[in-house]
Structures are given as structure tokens and as C-alpha cells.
Structure 1
């Protein structure tokens, strides 16, 4: 997120009666250009001198820029996310799933009913909304095939925007985003459990092929989580998973979540179903099975999940309910907000999660 200069921050917070230290961050490495040797990944962040303090992470669901959203993007990328951007900017880190290829060319996958793409100004919109990192591991990340993938990776490189779950090879696709926030070394991994069967081979990143980080290769995903566990205080996994229109987790989700926790994940969040699923604790870890659509052309309920974290502990969860109107998430107020929070908490009952 855009940090406020120290003096300005002190002035603003003093007016409110409280002064909180600004987050301390270590920038993540940029995506390696296509066709060049991969840079040596960061395996250990510099030691942090200050004792870790609480920090917040805000999560939204699926984002694309089709339909009415394309007109908003073309008109003013800086305001595409509308009023929900205020919620995202309040967090120390914010993340969503970008469910589109970033290309204005490419070759659309033959016969695919829904194929999404967007110009590189999508990154301008994401930055302006206060979103610090995105995952692109999903069933639309390669809708415009390999030429679209090349355009996407080139756009990521030019924008110098943090993206996980996609890359020039498996090493890059599974590589975590790393940031140090308030003394906490945070690692974020992205992967997808949803790839059409006919595209699994063509879309999955391998040692010699660019593509997506696939959660269908469960052994590789768990290996990467165990790897980042060794030198991170908080490990977050953002997954594309679930069954469309089903508000309870499917067997594949219920099976993978505890394995990720055992491997070292502290927070697991996901999207794909186009509806909300429950969130809560699975043992010591926090799991949000489905955040639904977020910036999307269809109306419906959505929201922002904000977690307060210190090290491996999730201290608090907060759901900010919203409704998609004109493609944009609009936070609810008053009685509608209270109902939205209650409805979201009720989803926990079929998810096998606890409130504490």
C-alpha cells in the first residue's frame, strides 16, 4: 500500500489521539523477464531489529475488468474499485485474485464460453485501490493461451507489480511474495485447484514451461509451503478452489486445507465459487474457503475479510459486507451491514470451522 510520509502520518494520527508506528516493509523481487535466466530467489529476509507487532491483511475475492468494468477502466483506472478501496487501503497489506489474462492480443481458447482479458492499466487500478499483491493462479489466467501468457508476464514486469501463482516456469509460478510488515516476515503463495481437465497439462507451470501454479500438483504446493515456513513468521496461501454456486466447501477443499496447515500455512483463503463460503479457525490456522466475486459484472453479495495477525497467530477477523453494484463492491451500512455480517458468520456452520 502507499505509505504516508512519517511527519504527515504523525500529524494525522495525533489528531485522532493515537500514534501507531508505520509498517516496515521489505520489497518483493520483480518477476523475471520471459526468456532470461531466473534470478536467485530470496530464501531468507534480513533480520528484523524491532519486536514483531500486530498488522492487518485485507482479502477480496475474484476480480476482472469485463463488461461495464472495462468502460470504468478505460475512463479512469484510478477509481475503478470505488468506495471499497477505502477499506482495502486501511490494511497494512491487501490482496485479491485477478481472474483475467493481461493482454490485448493473444488467441482465445477455442470453445471456452467465458474468456477474460484486460489491458495493462488493470495494474494501475489495483495499485490505486491499495492492493499490494494479487494471485493470477486461476481458471482464466491463460484464457488467451501462450501468447496471452507472454503478454501477461511482460505486463507484470513493466508494472513491477507483485503477482504470485503464475510465471515463466514452475520455480517462478510457485515463488512467494515476501514482505516484512511491522517486524513480521510475511510470505504469500498462490495456486489453483481449478483448471479445466483438457487444459491441465498446457496451463500448469513446469520446469520447462510457463503457466500457473497448480494445486493439483499437491506435492509441489506442500513442498513450497514447507519451504517458506522455514524463514517466515506468517505464511499465507491464496487458492482458487471450490464448486461454482456451492456455499459449502467440497471434498477437495476439505482434504487440502488440513494438509496445508500441517505443512505450515497460517492463513488459507480462496475464491472461485461466485458465492461466499465460510471462514474461521481450523485448529490454530485461519481458513476462509470462499470470498466470492469482488470486482465483477454480475451483482451479488461480497465483502472484505480483514485479519489482524501477529506472527503465526490470527488475533481477530473482521468481515466488511458489501454488495456488487454496477460491477463495483459497495460496502453496506446500518441494518444491511449487520445482516451481511450475520449471514457471513452463518456460512461457517457447514465449513467445519470454529469462531475462535
Structure 2
């Protein structure tokens, strides 16, 4: 595709990513380019001779990739009416969301028509396909729906959801929706985005351990026979998908729905899985579900942001749950060797969720408190600066 004005190139949706993922299973090296016609053994007079063993010129450095991560988004309560005009629904947040090469969020709601609220579930969220339009218009490139609200209106709505997912991938601007599908293979498929020659892949999964007597999300897992969400309570399939994707992509991002609601520090399970994902080849591991920020920082060769908090949410809540923002990561991809990509810069743009459900810039004093709190969160997460 032609490059867009913001530097993005060749964005692909989750459906198209299935084909790309299948291709990564083949380990046959790329076919050598066809040889050109033989050249004369003696160059024309005045021209220097060229050796057949002369080193090929090194490819140009593609430069860093800017990735923006934000937390939970839905269109409930005061946010519901904003979908009447999807193009402006998240306009106050579009500057922060649209400034990166790739922006990734968690869409915490069912999408589509039909179905009924899951019986016995305390909170059920619903939005029309306009939710996808609103995210794309605000500058979001990838949205994960691997969470405990994606099927709030049951499996009967899933066909409608998937039709909207495929339409969003083909729209202009496009939006890749990952983390659910017609099968486990589709639900765990990554979205690929080509940024000036650097291929960035994003995978998603839910690791939110729900009580099956109170919350039916444990029954929502996609399998080989039925659709649903990418469920990674058993992380084997997710880890295998990361390893496969690592062979195809220059940068690998994993976005998870995990942890314990209301907790500032990540659980032992989060920390263990984060380490396993980095070992498997993930460059960035991020997530949400705690509904407040958790620590971010370096973990080995990777960068982990355990909790991105709420972002566009129907209620600000208290001082902890209203604190939000966008995490901007600058990644230097691998260049001419096995050295892994690494995050060279990580900046939080601190904000607060207001009464309208949208993030807004904080005061200078609150921004100072944010920086101090971030250091505390990083320490309890066991991460380095």
C-alpha cells in the first residue's frame, strides 16, 4: 500500500494476518534473486573492475518505530451517546492516540447486534459496530477484544461481531481487531503492521481467571471447533504463537487481559507469564484488567507494562482508577544481525478521566505525583528503568 501521511505503511487486519501466520510456519529460506545476465570479463575502458566477491551494500536503517499503548475503552454510560458521531467520538484523545506509528488499545465491550445479556453477569457492556469506526477515527490501529466483556451478549452475537471485525479491517482508515475469532487459530492470530519496512506484529489473549459460578467468561474460549476469545489460562498456545510470530516479524507485541482487579502490583502469575513471553520472543508485553495503573519497565530483552488502567470509561472512579494516559514506546528494531529489538525510550503522557468519561490533561502538580507513583509501581513490579 502507499504510505500514509502519518508514516504508516501497509496495515493488515486480523483476517489477513491468518494467511501471514500460516506462512511463518514454513522455515524454507527465501528464494535467491534471479541472476542477471553475465557481464563482460573486461570492463569498458576507464571503469574500475568489480569483484564478484565485493560485499553488498548494507540496507538502510529503517529508523525507530513509535508504539503507543492505552488501556480499557468502552462506550457505556456518558460515553454511549458519543457513538452517534463515530468520527468525533474520541476526538479529545485523538492527538495522543494518533501521534504514534502504531496505537493499540483494549476494547472492553461486546460489539454488534443480537444476543442477550449473559445471565448472572453483574456488568454487561454493549456497543454497535460504530465503536470500531470511533477507534479508527481517533488513530487506533489495533484493538484487542480478548477480555471478559467481548461476549457479554453471548455467543449468539459473535457472528455479528465478526462481520463488523472484517468490515473494520477493510475500512478507511482500517482497524485490526484481534483476540477473538471463529476458531482458536483465528483468535490467536496476530495483526501485522509494516512501518517503513519494519514489520510489527501484535497478539492478544485473556488470562483473567474468572469464577465460573459468577462469571461465564471461562466458557468463552475459542477452540478448534467453535469461535470465541483467545484464552491463555493455559499459556501453551499463546507461547507457541509468539515463537512462530517471532520468526516472521521484526517487533512482537503481546497485549493481555490479566491480573487482579484493584491491585497496584502485578501478581506472581503475571510476572511469571511476562518472563515466559519475553523468553519466547516478545519485545513488548502490556495489559489491562486491574482498572488502575501497574508498573512498567524493562524485563530482560523486553519491556513490560503490567497495567495500563482505564482510558475511556463510563466513570472516573477514585484517584487510582481515574489516573490514565498513553504509554509511548520508541523501539529500535534489529539491524543486520540477531540482536533483538529493544525499547530505547518510554514516556507516559499522564492524564485523568473526567466526568465525561474521557482522558484529559492533568495539572502540573498531578503530573509530578504521577512520576513519583510510577517509580513506586515499577519497584513493586520488579522492573528496571
- TM-score of the aligned structures, taking structure 2 as reference length: 0.81
Counterparts of 2:145 and 2:100 in 1: how far apart (Å)?
21
Unaligned runs of 5+ in 1: 6-21, 33-37
1:111-190 → structure 2 map (5 Å cutoff): 111-160=120-169, 161-190=175-204
Counterparts of 1:99 and 1:236 in 2: how far apart (Å)?
19
The corresponding residue for 1:331 is 361
Write out per-residue CA displacement over residues 130-167 of structure 1, whole angstroms, 9 at most, x where no aligned residue: 00011000001111111121211111122223111100
The corresponding residue for 1:18 is none
The corresponding residue for 2:7 is 23
Q: SS of 1:340's equivalent? A: helix
| 1:305 partnered with 2:334 | no
Q: How far is 1:282 from its partner?
A: 0.7
Counterparts of 1:189 and 1:40 in 2: how far apart (Å)?
13
Match of 2:71 among 51, 58, 61: 61
Counterparts of 1:333 and 1:57 in 2: how far apart (Å)?
25
Q: How far is 1:67 from its partner?
A: 0.4
**Alpha-carbon distance change, 329 to 225 in structure 1, aligned in 2, over 3 angstroms:** same
Counterparts of 2:280 and 2:195 in 1: how far apart (Å)?
23
Q: SS of 1:317's equivalent? A: strand
Q: How far is 1:30 from its partner?
A: 5.2
Is the 8 Å Cα contact of residues 311 and 325 (structure 2) preserved in structure 1?
A: yes
**Alpha-carbon distance change, 138 to 308 in structure 1, aligned in 2, over 3 angstroms:** same
Counterparts of 1:284 and 1:39 in 2: how far apart (Å)?
28
Q: How far is 1:216 from its partner?
A: 0.8
Counterparts of 1:81 and 1:213 in 2: how far apart (Å)?
27
| 1:353 partnered with 2:383 | yes
Q: SS of 2:329's equivalent? A: strand
Counterparts of 1:105 and 1:267 in 2: how far apart (Å)?
36
Q: How far is 1:342 from its partner?
A: 2.7
Match of 2:373 among 339, 343, 346: 343
Is the 8 Å Cα contact of residues 82 and 330 (structure 1) preserved in structure 2?
A: no
Counterparts of 2:351 and 2:135 in 1: how far apart (Å)?
18
Q: Which has the larger radius of gyration?
A: 2
Q: How far is 1:39 from its partner?
A: 5.5
Is the 8 Å Cα contact of residues 82 and 328 (structure 1) preserved in structure 2?
A: no
Is the 8 Å Cα contact of residues 139 and 195 (structure 1) preserved in structure 2?
A: no
Is the 8 Å Cα contact of residues 50 and 183 (structure 1) preserved in structure 2?
A: no
Counterparts of 1:340 and 1:3 in 2: how far apart (Å)?
36
Unaligned runs of 5+ in 2: 25-29, 32-57, 170-174, 317-321, 334-340
Q: How far is 1:294 from its partner?
A: 0.6
Q: SS of 2:96's equivalent? A: helix
Write out per-residue CA displacement over residues 250-299 of structure 1, whole angstroms, 9 at most, x where no aligned residue: 12101111010111111000000111101001112100000011110111
Q: How far is 1:83 from its partner?
A: 2.3
Deviates more, 1:88-97 or 1:99-108: 99-108
Q: SS of 2:343's equivalent? A: strand
The corresponding residue for 2:118 is 109
Is the 8 Å Cα contact of residues 64 and 100 (structure 1) preserved in structure 2?
A: yes
Is the 8 Å Cα contact of residues 175 and 189 (structure 1) preserved in structure 2?
A: yes
Q: How far is 1:201 from its partner?
A: 5.3
Counterparts of 2:94 and 2:376 in 1: how far apart (Å)?
26
Is the 8 Å Cα contact of residues 21 and 190 (structure 2) preserved in structure 1?
A: no
Counterparts of 1:341 and 1:40 in 2: how far apart (Å)?
40
